[in-house]
């Protein structure tokens, strides 16, 4: 049996943990630069505020109902996520962290002590230890556990826990769920299935397997097998290595100057290189993209991107920033107002796979220089880790970083000594 533990309205719940006055009020958390809704309380959902909706289009609703707005505080959310996952890890023999607010648990063997009682104790324990409310779906496969979790969230009578113990219970649940809500079925497949009369999850489970495999391929065949109770998606106990690393931002105000855009790109490249070293990988490709607002007049819209191949795969910040700056010079067009830029590293390979590499006649730098670069990056990361990111930085990077607009940012309650809550007790 698999349990899917999903935090309810996670970002909003994190804000409520440290500000209980938000309970019962409509609350939304905004995306980068305070643009769109990325998390909503149930009260905000009842007002018709859609996921991904731009805040400026709902200004009257936000003001009329005194909706509490918050800028995304990812430092706080990341730390709260770690607390939730650490709590769950102590309550199950195996766990797969699926996202920042979701985790699958292996519940095999817990039947003898009463699954529902134990799962409800998990829900109580997470709320008690972290303050975060969670919903739990329990079923024989991961896809059915996802489906059960959705039912636990949408139906108050389940009180946060939905269990689908057998085939009959699963079929009753699938009959009431649209096929587009099934885990692994995307928008285009939903349109195709609806056109062919497959409208519910049960319709997909009962469809001819050969037809499903022909049109939805191996992914669809696995989803169908899981819906029918055949588990073919085991827990992933080790996260697979990343295929690419990206850092991008939308700018709070339009950028027209190439030098300012270059500082932003250098900052993003620096962030990418830091993530790359954290993953223990080397990058062979550097992609840079810049774009104007999609709402610009048609003749002033522009999306420029180009990829540069590095002669030698590296995780050196200096080499990656140099490559990104060269690409930016190729794609920059003067006279335009840029609203977003980003850097993507690709062609990733583990450092261990290249440690025994022999020097090549075509290497741009001798091995001694590469070893010096490695030591320099280790020293850079050690200093910044101890004294704060940006203490040591390259000159091309802006001294203040490239910060996004966060006018409604809550304190970093758990990650900054300056923001920690003080409790005063009168004697």
Mean pLDDT, residues 414-423 taken together: 86
Average pLDDT, integer, range 327-338: 94
- What confidence score (pLDDT) does residue 140 get? 95
Within 8 A by CB and 6+ apart from 76, the residues are: 14, 410, 412, 413, 414, 415
pLDDT average, residue stretch 314-337: 94
Counting other chains too, the contacts that 14-23 makes at CB distance below 8 Å and 24 or more residues apart are 14/73, 14/76, 14/77, 14/80, 14/132, 15/68, 15/70, 15/73, 15/410, 16/41, 16/131, 17/80, 17/130, 17/131, 17/132, 18/410, 18/411, 18/413, 18/421, 19/410, 22/68
The pLDDT score that the predictor gives to residue 14 is 96
| Confidence category of residue 237, pLDDT binned at 50, 70, 90 | low
pLDDT confidence of 416, banded at 50, 70, 90? Answer: confident
Q: What local confidence, expressed as pLDDT, does residue 375 receive?
A: 87
Q: What average pLDDT does the segment 365-369 reach? A: 61
* Burial grade of 247 (CB within 10 A; 0-12, 13-18, 19 or more): buried
Let me know: does 122 contact 5? Beta carbons within 8 Å.
yes
* pLDDT over 80 (residue 226): yes
Q: Is the pLDDT of residue 356 over 60?
A: no
- Could you tell me if 175 and 153 are in contact, meaning their C-beta atoms sit under 8 angstroms apart? no
pLDDT greater than 60 at residue 227: yes
Percentage helix, strand, coil for the chain under 3-state DSSP, each rounded to 5: 45, 20, 35
Does residue 385 surpass a pLDDT of 70? yes
* Three-class SS of 201-240: HHHHHHCCHHHHHHHHHHHHHHHHHHHCCCCCCCCCCCCC
Which tens digit of pLDDT belongs to each residue from 109-166? 888 888 999 999 999 999 999 999 999 999 999 999 999 999 999 999 999 999 999 9
Q: What domains, with CATH codes, occur in the chain?
A: 2-163 (3.30.70.270), 167-228 (1.10.150.20), 245-397 (3.30.1490.100)
Give percent of the chain with pLDDT exceeding 90: 67
């Amino acid at each position: 049996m698999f349990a899917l533990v999903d935090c309810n309205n996670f970002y909003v719940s994190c804000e409520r943990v440290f500000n209980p006055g938000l309970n019962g009020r409509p609350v939304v958390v905004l995306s980068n630069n305070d643009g769109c809704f990325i998390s909503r309380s149930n009260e905000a959902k009842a007002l018709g505020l859609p996921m991904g909706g731009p805040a400026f289009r709902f200004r009257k609703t936000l003001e009329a109902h005194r909706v509490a707005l918050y800028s995304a505080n990812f430092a706080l959310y990341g730390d709260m996520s770690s607390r939730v996952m650490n709590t769950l890890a102590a309550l199950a023999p195996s766990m797969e962290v699926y996202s920042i607010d979701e985790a699958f648990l292996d519940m095999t063997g817990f039947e003898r002590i009463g699954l529902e009682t134990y799962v409800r104790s998990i829900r109580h324990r997470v709320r008690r230890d972290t303050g975060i409310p969670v919903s739990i779906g329990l079923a024989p496969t991961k896809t059915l556990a996802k489906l059960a979790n959705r039912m636990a969230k949408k139906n108050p009578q389940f009180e946060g826990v939905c269990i689908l113990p057998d085939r009959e219970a699963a079929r009753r649940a699938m009959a009431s769920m649209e096929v587009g809500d099934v885990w692994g079925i995307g928008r285009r497949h939903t349109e195709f299935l609806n056109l062919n009369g497959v409208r519910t999850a049960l319709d997909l489970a009962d469809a001819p397997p050969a037809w499903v495999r022909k049109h939805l391929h191996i992914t669809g065949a696995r989803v169908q097998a899981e819906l029918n109770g055949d588990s073919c998606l085991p827990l992933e106990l080790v996260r697979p290595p990343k295929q690419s690393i990206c850092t991008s931002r939308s700018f709070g105000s339009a950028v027209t100057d190439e030098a300012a855009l270059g500082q932003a790109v250098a900052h993003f490249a620096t962030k990418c290189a830091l993530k790359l070293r954290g993953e223990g990988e080397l990058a062979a490709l550097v992609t840079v993209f810049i774009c104007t607002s999609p709402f610009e007049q048609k003749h002033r819209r522009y999306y420029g991107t180009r990829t540069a191949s590095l002669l030698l795969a590296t995780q050196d910040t200096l080499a990656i920033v140099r490559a990104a700056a060269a690409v930016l010079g190729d794609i920059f067009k003067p006279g335009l107002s840029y609203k977003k830029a980003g850097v993507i590293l690709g062609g990733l390979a583990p450092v261990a796979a290249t440690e025994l590499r022999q020097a090549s006649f075509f290497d741009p730098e001798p091995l001694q220089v590469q070893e010096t670069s490695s030591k320099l990056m280790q020293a850079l990361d050690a200093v910044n880790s101890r004294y704060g990111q940006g203490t040591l930085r390259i000159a091309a990077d802006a001294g203040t970083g490239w910060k996004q607009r966060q006018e409604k940012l809550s304190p970093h309650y758990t990650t900054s000594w300056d923001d920690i809550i003080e409790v005063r007790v009168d004697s």
